[in-house]
Amino acid sequence: MKNLVALSISVAILLSLAACGGNTASPSAPASSGTVSSAKSAEAAGSENDEVYVFNFGTNQPATHIVAEAYQGLVDELNEQGGGRIKATAYFSEQLGNEKEMVDMVANGINDMVVAPGHSALSTYYPSLQIFDAPYVFDTPEQMLNFANGDGLDPMWDDMASTTKIRVLGTYYFGSRHLTCNDIDVKTPADLKGMKLRVIDAPISLATGRALGADPTPLAYSELYLALSQKIVDAQENPLANILSAKFYEVQNELVLTGHVLAPVAFVINEEKWQSLPDDIKAIVQTAVDHAVAKGSQLIEEAEKSQISELEGYGMKVLHPDVEAFKANAKSVIDEFSSNWNEGLYESAIATPKE
């Protein structure tokens, strides 16, 4: 009888969704998916090679989201490469909880893996990750990825794993965050004064909303469409893929190309659970994550080439604001938060090659 090691892996994309955090979704996956357990055979201890590792991935994005292909590919690769020793399943649309809930579970060793929406949810545990959600730090997706996935950041990831029990296995590009609103000719931050802008519920996101000139209002991603339609909030900010998949174009008629954050999404796993895995299983998981990182970034970058035109086709007016004016305001966010980051982190980020 095989030993069963159930390692529940939640992929919280808030992606989106990604990018956008939900605060109220409740897990609806089977009860066993939220726990980590090891069922030993009653007859014998068995060998390590008899263990079956069960990975349950969850995301707040629907299976129709463009990046879902990368998540499903990750699950499929684990099943194929595991040779019967791995059983992986993907759960979409917040079936395992919203991103904050899943990150909390990862830190507490309840769930073992999560794809965080940006790094904002992770930054509540490790403030240096605020740099990834700070406005206008990176000029290109390649610069952000070179920084996040380069060897130079390995000491930080190790320190984070040691102090928070959350290990980052890889980061991919989720898209440039832009504003949407209704009937406002946005050119500078002054045009957003008094506007209720929905943001992720994280300090760096709230500060960024203020720097953009708006009144930042934290709200669950799952509640955003209804809040926009009922004018509980006036505007929102997200990558283009989210604007399309969530159909925000149905309740917002202007797309403001601020590009204020080049949004990252990270695959993370509980450090103690990661260290408990056999080396061959670690290698399979890391390789699958590496492939998902590359695929996710590729899908988003390719899609962004046509998504603005697609949104125009849905009737959205595309606005090109004075980005330099927004960048000037954004410096206040760096000044406010950089003292909480590891020494030299900001300087290293902006010095990273852009291609």
Give the pLDDT score at 339. Answer: 95
**pLDDT above 90 for 309:** yes
Give the pLDDT score at 49. Answer: 67
**pLDDT above 90 for 352:** yes
Model confidence at 117, pLDDT cuts 50, 70, 90, reads low
Q: What is the pLDDT of residues 151-181, one digit of tens each?
A: 999 999 999 999 999 999 999 999 999 999 9
**pLDDT above 50 for 40:** no
What the chain holds in terms of domains, given with CATH numbers, is: 4-351 (3.40.190.170)
Q: What is the C-alpha to C-alpha distance for residues 323 and 211, in angstroms, rounded to an integer?
A: 12
Model confidence at 30, pLDDT cuts 50, 70, 90, reads very low
Q: What is the C-alpha to C-alpha distance for residues 41 and 192, in angstroms, rounded to an integer?
A: 62
Give the pLDDT score at 139. Answer: 98
Q: What is the C-alpha to C-alpha distance for residues 340 and 338, in angstroms, rounded to an integer?
A: 5
**pLDDT above 50 for 350:** yes
**pLDDT above 80 for 46:** no
Using only the alpha carbons of the chain, give its radius of gyration. Answer: 20
- Average pLDDT (283-293) is 97
**pLDDT above 50 for 300:** yes
Model confidence at 62, pLDDT cuts 50, 70, 90, reads confident
Nearest-CA neighbor of 5 among 274, 318, 299, 309? Answer: 274
Q: Is 194 helix (H, G, I), strand (E, B) or coil?
A: coil
Does residue 119 contact residue 264 with C-beta atoms inside 8 Å? yes
Model confidence at 13, pLDDT cuts 50, 70, 90, reads very low
Q: What is the C-alpha to C-alpha distance for residues 216 and 218, in angstroms, rounded to an integer?
A: 7
Q: Chain-wide mean pLDDT for the chain?
A: 87
Whole-model pTM over 0.75:
yes
Give the pLDDT score at 101. Answer: 86
Does residue 83 contact residue 100 with C-beta atoms inside 8 Å? no
254, HSE (Cβ side, Cα atoms, 13 Å): 15
Q: What is the C-alpha to C-alpha distance for residues 214 and 235, in angstroms, rounded to an integer?
A: 9
Instruction: Name the least confident of 78-92, 104-118, 252-266, 332-346.
Output: 104-118
Rama region for 113: left / alpha / beta (φ>0; ψ in -120 to 50; rest):
beta
